[in-house]
C-alpha cells in the first residue's frame, strides 16, 4: 500500500508542505531544496537495517551493500573537501560537534568560541548545551566597529585561558573566515583548531570560500545547508590519530546504529557537489546574496559588517525602523510568503524571542534558479512586507504576488 492509502492524513500534510515550499521563497540561510535523487536515497529501503560499526567491521550480518554505500560516501566526502579521513555517520551538525569535542578534549577542558548571540551556534558552548555542561566554554568577541572576528580578542582569550581547543565557524556570520589566522593563534597556545563549516560547506567544496584545510585539525559540517544534501552531519580530518578518535566518539561514543538511508543520500549529494554544475551553483549563491544585500541597503536597511561575502546576511532592522523587531519582521515576511528567521544582531538589546534582526540567505532560492536580476524583486517583496507588518490585506496581496513569482522557478528534479 502506498502512503496515500495507508495514511491519508500524513500524505495530505506532506502534499500541503510541498505546495507551501513551491509557493513561497525560502530565505532561511540554513535551508535548501534537495534533488529528487537525494530524496529517493533518503526514502529508500536502506532505512530498514542496523549497521552498527564501520565498513567491513559491523556488528550485524548482511551489511555488504551498506559497506559499499558508506565507503562511497566517505570517498566522495574526502574528494570533495580534499582531505584524508571522513566520518559520514554523525546524525546532525550538533552530533558532529559533540563527537569532535569528545575526540579533541577531556570533560572539563576549556575551549573558546564565538557565542551564540554574536553569530555562533548553541553547540559551541551555549550554557544549556552539552558543549558547556561537559566542557568549559569561554568566548572571543566581534570587533564592535567592523562586526567581524576580533583576532586581538581571540589571541587575548587564548593566551589568558590556554584552551585545549579553539572553535571557528558560525551560524550567523556573513564574512569569510580566516582559518590560517586562527591556526596561527592555536599554535601559539598549543590548542587544537576545530572548524564548524556547516553553513559554508557547499561554498568551501566549490572553492567559493577558502578551505579550512590544511589549517584545522578537525572540521565538522552539516550536509543539508549550502551543500544541498539530506539533513545530517559529517566530520573531516587529515590526521589519522584524530580520525580514529572521531570514529570512536561517534560510535560507540555518542551514537548507535547509523542512518544508512541518510548516508546513501549524503553519498548522492556529494556526487552532485562534485559535478561542475555545483561550482556554478555555489558561485551564483554568493552573487545572489551580494545583489540582495545591495538591494536592501539601497532601501535603507543596515547589514551587519556592512554586507556579505557568503550566502547569508544579517539585517539590523533598527536603521530602517526603530520599532520593528526581528519577530515582527519574520512574521510579516511569512504572511507574505517569504520565509526567514528572526536573529539577534551583535550586542542586540532585545531578547532572543524578539531580536532586532532577520537573517537572510540565498542557497534555496538559487537552487530554484533565481539570478542577481531577480534580487530587486525579492528585496522589494521583503521591504513591502516589513513596512506593511500591521496590514493583513497588503500582506495577503504580496503573498499572491510572491506565489505567482515563485511559480516561475520550479523545484529541482
Q: Which residues bind ligand DSN (CB under 6 A)?
A: 30, 93, 121, 171
Distance of CA 264 to the CA centre of its chain: 20
Least CB distance from residue 43 to ligand DSN, whole Å? Answer: 23
252: DSSP letter: I
Question: Which residue number, 148 or 221, has a Cβ lying nearer to ligand DSN?
Answer: 221
Mind giving me the DSSP string for 338-368? EE-EEEPPTT-SS-TTT-SEEEEE-HHHHHT
DSSP annotation of 408: T
CB-based closest residue to ligand DSN? 30
Candidates 231, 259, 232, 236; CA nearest to 247 is: 236
Task: Report the SS3 class of residue 226.
Answer: coil
User: Cα dist. 373→107, 124, 295, 299, 376 in Å?
Assistant: 51, 37, 10, 16, 7
CB of 343 to ligand DSN, least distance (A): 9
Residue 305 or 343 having the CB closest to ligand DSN: 343
Give catalytic status of residue 225 as yes or no. yes
The Cα 96–Cα 267 span in angstroms is 17
User: Least distance to ligand DSN from the beta carbon of 126, Å?
Assistant: 11
Which residue in the list 22, 31, 49, 50 is annotated as catalytic? Answer: 50
Toward ligand DSN, which CB reaches closer, 123 or 290?
A: 123
CB of 408 to ligand DSN, least distance (A): 27
| Cα 344 from chain centroid (whole Å) | 17
Q: One of 175, 231, 368, 384 is an active-site residue; which one?
A: 231
Q: Which of 148, 222, 223, 325 is catalytic?
A: 222
**Long-range CB contacts (within 8 A, 24+) of 342-350:** 343/172, 343/314, 344/117, 344/172, 345/304, 345/314, 345/316, 345/318, 346/117, 346/118, 346/119, 346/142, 346/144, 346/147, 346/304, 347/144, 348/117, 350/325, 350/326
Catalytic residue among 52, 141, 178, 383: 52
Residue 17 among the catalytic residues: no
Nearer to ligand DSN, 91 or 121 (CB): 121
* Choice between 185 and 340, CB closer to ligand DSN: 340
- Which residue is catalytic, options 196, 272, 309, 316? 196
| Beta carbon of residue 209, minimum distance to ligand DSN (angstroms, whole number) | 16
| 52 given a catalytic annotation | yes
Q: Is 328 a catalytic residue?
A: no
- Residue 196: active-site member: yes
222 included as an active-site residue: yes
Which grid coordinates belong to 198? 556547516
Q: Would you state the cell numbers that stand for residue 262, as one nine-digit string?
A: 541518510
Least Cβ distance, residue 393 to ligand DSN (angstroms): 31
In the complex with ligand DSN, the residue whose CB is nearer, 191 or 315, is 315
Active site residues: 50, 52, 196, 222, 225, 231
Amino acid at each position: 500500500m502506498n502512503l496515500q492509502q495507508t495514511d491519508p492524513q500524513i500524505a495530505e500534510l506532506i502534499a500541503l508542505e510541498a505546495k507551501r515550499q513551491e509557493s513561497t521563497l525560502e530565505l532561511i540561510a540554513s535551508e535548501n531544496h534537495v534533488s529528487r535523487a537525494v530524496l529517493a536515497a533518503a526514502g529508500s529501503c536502506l532505512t530498514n537495517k542496523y549497521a552498527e560499526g564501520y565498513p567491513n567491521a559491523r556488528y550485524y550480518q548482511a551489511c555488504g551493500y551498506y559497506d559499499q554505500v558508506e565507503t562511497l560516501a566517505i570517498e566522495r566526502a574526502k574528494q570533495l573537501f580534499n582531505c584524508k579521513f571522513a566520518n559520514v555517520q554523525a546524525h546532525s551538525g550538533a552530533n558532529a560537534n559533540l563527537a569532535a569535542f569528545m575526540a579533541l578534549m577531556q570533560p572539563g577542558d576549556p575551549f573558546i568560541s564565538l557565542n551564540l548571540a554574536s553569530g555562533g551556534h548553541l553547540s559551541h558552548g551555549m550554557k544549556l548545551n552539552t558543549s558547556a555542561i561537559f566542557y568549559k566554554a569561554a568566548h572571543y568577541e566581534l570587533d564592535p566597529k567592523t562586526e567581524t572576528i576580533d583576532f586581538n580578542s581571540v589571541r587575548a582569550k587564548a593566551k589568558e585561558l590556554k584552551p585545549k581547543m579553539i572553535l571557528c565557524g558560525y551560524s550567523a556570520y556573513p564574512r569569510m573566515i580566516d582559518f590560517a589566522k586562527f591556526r596561527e593563534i592555536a599554535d601559539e597556545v598549543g590548542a587544537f583548531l576545530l572548524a564548524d563549516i556547516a553553513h559554508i560547506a557547499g561554498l568551501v567544496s566549490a572553492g567559493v570560500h577558502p578551505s579550512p584545510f590544511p589549517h584545522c585539525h578537525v572540521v565538522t559540517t552539516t550536509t543539508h545547508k549550502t551543500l544541498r544534501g539530506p539533513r545530517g552531519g559529517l566530520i573531516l580530518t587529515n590526521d589519522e590519530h584524530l580520525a580514529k578518535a572521531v570514529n570512536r566518539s561517534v560510535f560507540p561514543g555518542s551514537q548507535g546504529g547509523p542512518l544508512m538511508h541518510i548516508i546513501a543520500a549524503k553519498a548522492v549529494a556529494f556526487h552532485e557537489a562534485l559535478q561542475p554544475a555545483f561550482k556554478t551553483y555555489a558561485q551564483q549563491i554568493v552573487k545572489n546574496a551580494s545583489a540582495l544585500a545591495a538591494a536592501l541597503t539601497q532601501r535603507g536597511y543596515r547589514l551587519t559588517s556592512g554586507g556579505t561575502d557568503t550566502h547569508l546576511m544579517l539585517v539590523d532592522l533598527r536603521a530602517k525602523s526603530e520599532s520593528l523587531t526581528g519577530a515582527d519582521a519574520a512574521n510579516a515576511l511569512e504572511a507574505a510568503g517569504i520565509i526567514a528567521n528572526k536573529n539577534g544582531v551583535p550586542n542586540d538589546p532585545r531578547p532572543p524571542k524578539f531580536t532586532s534582526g532577520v537573517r537572510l540567505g540565498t542557497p534555496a532560492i538559487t537552487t530554484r534558479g533565481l539570478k542577481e536580476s531577480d534580487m530587486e524583486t525579492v528585496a522589494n517583496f521583503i521591504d513591502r512586507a516589513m513596512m506593511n507588518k500591521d496590514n493583513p490585506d497588503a500582506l495577503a496581496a504580496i503573498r499572491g504576488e510572491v506565489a505567482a513569482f515563485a511559480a516561475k522557478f520550479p523545484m529541482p528534479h
